[in-house]
Amino acid sequence: MSTDDADDLIFKALSHRIRRRMLDVLKSGAATTGTLCTAFPELDRCTVMQHLGVLEEAGLVVAERRGRERWNHLDALPVHAIHERWIGPYAAYAASMLSRLKREVELSE
Amino acid sequence: MSTDDADDLIFKALSHRIRRRMLDVLKSGAATTGTLCTAFPELDRCTVMQHLGVLEEAGLVVAERRGRERWNHLDALPVHAIHERWIGPYAAYAASMLSRLKREVELSE
């Protein structure tokens, strides 16, 4: 698979707000599919598993089987790669400062 | 506009490989629309401007008029926000190390 194809999968996966919220949940720690179903009561189990499949295909989620449970882990490497592509290690500090400044300006408005 | 709506625009903009390549070009410095047309000879000027419009709407490109020229600047703040959302400042170092390790493993394969 080319890098473009891999990136297509990543941005397709991130383009859905439910999938972005699933990553938010997984950021605080791995979760079973059952826990994710509880976190998204508006979705049926089948839909949750479809979204997890898209995230897994993109490499944003790694699934681990433990007995009858499936534990879903966030893999942040693709997110790191996005950052490296357009910011890179040298501009990271500047971006961080700008981001903080923007937040402070917004809070003071 | 809600954060979800703003993020939809960002990931929609990043979901197209041509737009990602445009950001690659702009990473090395601001460029006029004419320069971008030269960098993407397979696209007509109208298509280049449509892609720039999508990037601008998402806040990934800031346009600046200088006389008859339009200079396009990369705004990396949304990219930084993606990184902060799923990695955050504390895990950035670990992600950086993992990313380097992955690259070294791939190179040695």
Co-location of B90 and B68 in the same domain: no
Co-location of A70 and A87 in the same domain: no
Number of domains in chain A: 2
Question: Which residues face B70 on adjacent strands?
Answer: B65
Co-location of B38 and B68 in the same domain: yes
Co-location of B9 and B54 in the same domain: yes
What pLDDT, in 10s, does the model give residues A62-92? 999 999 999 999 998 999 999 999 987 667 6
Q: Do B74 and A86 touch (CB under 8 A)?
A: yes
CA distance A52 to A63: 9
Query: Domain range spanning residue B39?
Result: 1-75
Q: Do B82 and A82 touch (CB under 8 A)?
A: yes
Contacts of B86 in chain A (CB under 8 A): 23-24, 27, 74, 76, 79
What pLDDT, in 10s, does the model give residues B48-96? 999 999 999 999 999 999 999 999 999 989 999 999 999 876 676 677 7
Q: Angle of helix B17-27 relative to helix B45-57, nearest 10 degrees?
A: 80
Give the ipTM. Answer: 0.82
Co-location of A34 and A50 in the same domain: yes
Does the pTM of the predicted model rise above 0.95? no
State how far the alpha carbon of B24 is from the alpha carbons of A69, A80, B21, B39, in Å: 41, 16, 5, 11
Token pair for A108: 């003071």
Co-location of B11 and B36 in the same domain: yes
B85 has a chain A CB within 8 A of its CB: yes
Interface A–B counts its CB contacts (< 8 A) at 92
